[in-house]
Structure 1
Amino acid sequence: MNKLDDKDIRAVLRKMVSAYKNARVFDEYTTYSGKSRADLVAINGHVNAFEIKSDYDSLNRLENQVREYDLNFERNCIVAGEKYIEEVSKIVPDHWGIIMARRNRENKVSLNYKRVAKLNPNLDFVSFTGLLESSKLRKIILDNNFYAKAGLNRDAVNGMFKYDLIAYLDSKLSKYQKSTLKGVIRAKLKEE
């Protein structure tokens, strides 16, 4: 078996996700907690995160990475070399996508879906909202009147720490309002 490293897989994966309609692609995207970093994130209609496990990697951190990705990203997918494809399929949840990376007959890297990612049922409003930097989050909340919907005034929004502001919004906004806010945040993340 011809082993693949991260660089081999990342180049082909980047090309593939860049072809998504209206996608913006980012490398090494840090989660809100700072405990994990997605290898690649593609933002189009959703925030799609990709974790690469090359034939030279270890799976030691994968369970923790799964937990972090599930808190932060709307769709998650693991891209693994043939060496790990069976093992990762036992570790990642059913809503995660699985892509196998291998060399084809022409010695080029090919990516084949084993399972397509579904919407993440474990997405955490606080973690997702926290992906946006403080100043941009405040601007969205003020410009789109979310502060009034949560019972705050403009000065209160500007005076709160980011985490406190997000936690307050989480406790006060309706499910529909949170969904609307996530859509605005997604669009802003795509601009960065």
Structure 2
Amino acid sequence: MKVSKPAMVDRKDTWRFITKALCRILWYSSWVLLFLDVFTFFLVLIAAVLLFTQGFKIEAIRLIKLRGFFSLPGLLIAFWGMLICCLADPGKRLNSLRHMIFRLGRRGADSLWLSKKRGHFSIEMSYNTTEKEHFAGTEKAIMVTNDREIRQEISDSLIKKYGKEPGTMIVHELKVCQGEARIDIALVNGAMHGYEIKSDRDTLERLPGQIKIYNRVFDTITIITGISHLKEVATLIPPWWGIKVASCEASGKITITEIRQPESNANIDAFSLAQFLWKDELVDLVMRYNVGKEIKRLTRAQLWAYVSENIPLEELKAYVRECLKKRQAWRPDAQRTLNDD
């Protein structure tokens, strides 16, 4: 019997985990060192004031000079520890400090820095050659994007593009592989298209695992990312994924720019695809082949295995799309069906 295998952790994932753990240790150690350094400095300062008031002026000055000499190495170590963490850790927790450091010192081809404008932080980016081709070589000042705004813009654009096509459905937060992951937006018509959103406010921690899960079931996948994640996203996703960049201008308008069109997925897993189906839907599919009624006694997991091994993949894909469109028991906020006539 075929069993769905959990996503394996490759060397890159292991190295990324180790790097992140070391960055966190270094980050907190740097803060502790900085706190102790500042705390002891104030204690020495109080002691120097007491000496000064008692008439020991020379000793007080020497004490302050000596403390300042020993505090400099601690401050430098703490600063460089934080700098290394900010440059190495892609986590959302360090974004603001990392951007400030980029603004102060890093002006390379992939530099990012924050500038304050109208009470919001805006990102300015010096694009590399590939990005210049898509953005006509111009630099844009934008505000940080968020998931809700990007989701609304993508939904509206899909409705505008596919709204007149019969049997097209949009599902928000669609569970994949029995809840191992949720795709932000799924478009179901003659194929299954997945849209994953990674705004500037999101992190990319879950993306490697999501990639492996989404690759099992979707015909095409497009990731919509904020500019701050563009370079890292491009290195993580497969070459057949599409890429769109979301930017928020000073006026608040969300702009979606296509960087790369998606290509067809040639490695869909039949077992994972069958997991979209409910038991009655699985039984109905199997009964089309005039099998015995004992098939109804099988568990849902056994039916997934049977279907994946005995039903042609193209037929299974078409049946899954048909069942998703016919369902009535969706969450009210999870789906919008377009032109069901």
Q: Is this a same-fold pair by TM over 0.5?
A: yes
Among residues 199, 203, 225, which one is paired with 1:58 in the alignment?
Answer: 203
Among residues 289, 295, 302, which one is paired with 1:157 in the alignment?
Answer: 295
Greater Rg by CA: 2
1:83, CA displacement in angstroms? Answer: 0.8
The correspondence of residues 38-187 of structure 1 with structure 2, limited to 5 A, is 38-104=183-249, 106-142=251-287, 145-146=288-289, 148=290, 152-153=291-292, 155-173=293-311, 177-187=312-322
Higher helix share: 2
Structure 1 gap segments, 5+ residues each: none
Contact persistence 1:97–1:117 (CA under 8 A): yes
Give secondary structure in 2 for the equivalent of 1:84: helix
Give secondary structure in 2 for the equivalent of 1:33: coil
1:73, CA displacement in angstroms? Answer: 1.6
Q: How many equivalent residue pairs?
A: 182
Which residue in the other structure is 1:7 paired with?
Answer: 148
Q: Distance in 1 between matches of 2:206 and 2:149?
A: 21
Q: Distance in 1 between matches of 2:227 and 2:324?
A: 33
1:128, CA displacement in angstroms? Answer: 0.9
1:9, CA displacement in angstroms? Answer: 0.3
Q: CA offsets per residue over residues 30-67 of structure 1, 9 Å max, x none? A: 01232100011110111111111011111011000000
1:135, CA displacement in angstroms? Answer: 1.7
1:104, CA displacement in angstroms? Answer: 4.3
Q: Distance in 1 between matches of 2:205 and 2:193?
A: 23
Q: TM-score, normalised by structure 2?
A: 0.51
1:105, CA displacement in angstroms? Answer: 6.6
Q: CA offsets per residue over residues 93-133 of structure 1, 9 Å max, x none? A: 01111111112475311111111111112211111121122
The alignment-based identity, stated in percent, is: 26
Task: Provide closer, same or farther for how the CA distance between residues 74 and 34 of structure 1 changes in structure 2, counting only shifts above 3 A.
Answer: same
Give secondary structure in 1 for the equivalent of 2:272: helix
Contact persistence 2:196–2:222 (CA under 8 A): yes
Contact persistence 1:72–1:131 (CA under 8 A): no
Q: Distance in 2 between matches of 1:5 and 1:109?
A: 10
Aligned-pair RMSD on alpha carbons? 1.6
Q: Distance in 2 between matches of 1:178 and 1:120?
A: 13
Runs of 4+ in 1 over 6 A off after TM superposition: none
Which residue in the other structure is 2:67 paired with?
Answer: none
Contact persistence 1:78–1:97 (CA under 8 A): yes
Residue identity in the other structure for 1:59 = L
